[in-house]
Amino acid sequence: MQFLSDNAARVHPKVWAAMQAADSPDRPYDGDALSQRLDAAFSELFGRDVAALWASSGTAANSLALTTVVEPHGGVICHREAHIEMDECGAPGFYTHGAKLLLAEGDGARLTPAAIETVLAGITRGVHQVAAHAISLTQASEYGLCYRPEELQAIGALAKARGLGLHVDGARFANAVAFLGCSPADAAGPADALSFGCTKNGGMDADAIVLFDREAAELVRWRRKRGGHLQSKGRVLAAQILALLEGGLWLENARAANDAAAEIAGSAKDRLLHPVEANELFVKLAAAERTALRAQGFQFYDWDETTVRMVAAWDTPPDHATALVRALAAL
């Protein structure tokens, strides 16, 4: 019973079907009919004209998106536990040619205007110190917490006032929208660039880079190829994304994952490090308790000495969730 990560979940049958339907010769790279539909599909989703490109990993999507908001000599303010800081092996620095991540504090890996201001206040040395060019936040955060639309507006207002770009790491954007119950546009706030995760949500190997400044897409097109991410059969990546968007499958999958997480959370209320808003649970478990759960067949990730991470996915079997509920209650 796998609660290690949604990134290892299965591919949704409709995604498989769409990929196979796309498997006939077409123009290579992103010249095919499906890739060409991404702009329109995301423009509809966000209710405004955007550009959208596929990328084959969330790290690639984030890194390429960041190139549109920071120059090599600048910095990006992010939470000290942000995925781009902790889990991408320096990929953001690689793609931005050395831009620095400027680390902010904040509960549950969420940024606040105050935390951002603290970072900015420490930048006083002119050309001797890396200056902030942008802010990056994760929706939902690395602890599964969601920014409310008004919080995003407040951060966006600060970004605008300070001349900073705004990037949103949306590896679990769908789970955030599902929790917030708002429009995708409200859940993205005044972002300049968003990585829209699909792989964790029923896709195989396709995430989308959504650029609210359409002109920035030109830069990303060059940098994507230069990063080795312009796959020749791009149509199968586009097919995955479109299959998830169609009929709201992306939201349906996210809701299933969130619901499973919520169910499990119900039996571990006293053990939760953070409220469960999306599909991740951070549960305080002693070593013996971990051993006991693992002996019952549950797989999860040791977050640190006191806490484990459990992640529900779109395809978490109901009986697995229920079994975990019982096992946690029985500890």
68 binds its own copies (CB under 8 A): no
Among 94, 149, 154, 213, binds its own copies (CB under 8 A): 94
Residue 171's Cβ-count burial label (10 Å; 0-12, 13-18, 19+) is: buried
**Which distant-in-sequence residues (6+ apart) come within 8 Å of 92 by Cβ?**
62, 63, 66, 76, 84, 99, 101
The nearer residue to its own copies, 139 or 240, going by C-beta atoms, is: 240
Binding segment for its own copies (CB under 8 A), chosen from 98-106, 139-147, 157-165, 283-291, is 98-106
Nearest CA to 49 out of 209, 238, 188, 214 is that of 214
Write each residue from 116 to 155 as x if it is in contact with its own copies (CB under 8 A), else as -, in one continuous string.
Answer: ---------x-xxxxx------------------------
Contacts of 286 (CB under 8 A, 6+ apart): none
Residues paired with residue 209 on neighbouring β-strands, in sequence order: 53, 195
Among 21, 28, 48, 160, binds its own copies (CB under 8 A): 28
How far apart CA 277 and CA 138 sit, in angstroms, is 14
Range in contact with its own copies (rule: CB under 8 A) among 172-180, 209-217, 232-240, 268-276: 232-240
| Cβ atoms 156, 137 nearer than 8 A | no
Is 189 or 202 the residue whose CB approaches its own copies more closely? 202
284-301 as b/e: b if 16+ CB within 10 A: ebeeebbeebeeeebebe
282 binds its own copies (CB under 8 A): no
- By beta-carbon proximity to its own copies, the closer residue of 37 and 233 is 233
Residue 308 φ/ψ, nearest 5 degrees: -115, 155
| d(C-alpha 202, C-alpha 240), whole Å | 9
Among 42, 93, 172, 238, binds its own copies (CB under 8 A): 93
3-state secondary structure of 2: strand
Least distance between its own copies and beta carbon 138 (Å): 15
Give CA–CA dist 206/221, Å, rounded: 16
Task: Decide if residue 175 touches its own copies (CB under 8 A).
Answer: no
Question: In this chain, which stretch among 56-64, 106-114, 179-187, 261-269 interacts with its own copies, using CB under 8 A?
Answer: 56-64
Residue with tokens 């019982």: 326
Q: Find, among 196, 113, 187, the residue nearest to 157 by Cα.
A: 113
Q: Which is nearer to its own copies, 148 or 226 (CB)?
A: 226
Residues 294-313 close enough to bind its own copies by CB under 8 A: none
Is residue 12 within 8 Å of 249, Cβ to Cβ?
yes
SS3 228: coil
Binds its own copies (CB under 8 A): choice among 109, 230, 261, 310? 230
**Interface pick for its own copies out of 35, 70, 79, 95 (rule CB under 8 A):** 95
Residues 206-225 that bind its own copies (CB under 8 A): 219, 221-223, 225
Binding residues vs its own copies (CB under 8 A)? 2, 4-5, 7-11, 16, 20, 23-29, 55-64, 71-73, 75, 86-91, 93-95, 97-100, 103, 125, 127-131, 199-200, 204-205, 219, 221-223, 225-233, 236-237
